[in-house]
Amino acid sequence: MISLTVNGQTRETVAEPRRLLCDVLREDFNLTGTHVGCEHGVCGACTVLIDDKPARACLTYAVQMEGHEITTIEAVGEAQLSPLQRALHEEHGLQCGFCTPGIVMTFEAFLRDVPDPTEEEVRDVLSGNLCRCTGYQNIVAAVLKAAATMREARL
């Protein structure tokens, strides 16, 4: 039996030592927003926050997560869309949506640490997330728009 803190709630499940965090989140806790793409940590679709830092859930064993805070896409914009989610919608920064949860989780953390990113910085961080639909330009525009919105809200 393991006890995990996910989206601020303590949850328990039985997990063999080799069980991946993405599988526990999806299968045991029904948090299916964490998508499983490549299963090698390359595509970024399974990105969650572990102690507020982006991490690949497909490369993380669930038993390693006891004592850590895990945040999934389900916790972002619960009451209303976050500035990043809203900007992705407004700038048409998503199409099929498979990569979107991983991108949102990556940039929620990034924008918290880098409130005024350059386009080059956004593109560099985005290189860790594979999107087969959009061509990335609208995602970059959305991240920059969200950063501006978040800076204005801080004033």
pLDDT one-digit tens code per residue, 54-75: 999 999 999 999 999 999 999 9
CA distance 50 to 38: 20
Check whether residue 89 and residue 71 sit in a common domain.
no
* pLDDT band at residue 7 under the 50/70/90 scheme: very high
77 class by beta-carbon count within 10 Å (0-12 exposed, 13-18 middle, 19+ buried) = middle
**3-class SS string, 5-64:** EECCEEEEECCCCCCEHHHHHHHHCCCCCCCCCCCCCCCCCCEEEECCEEEEHHHCEHHH
71: domain range? 2-75
- Residue 92: give its domain's CATH number: 1.10.150.120
- Residue 32: give its domain's CATH number: 3.10.20.30
DSSP label at residue 74 = G
pLDDT one-digit tens code per residue, 82-113: 999 999 999 999 999 999 999 999 999 999 99
Pick from 56, 75, 94: which residue ends a domain?
75
- Check: CB of residue 31 under 8 Å from CB of residue 105: no
Checking if the pLDDT of 135 tops 90, the result is: no
Secondary structure percentages of the chain, helix, strand, coil, to 5: 45, 15, 45
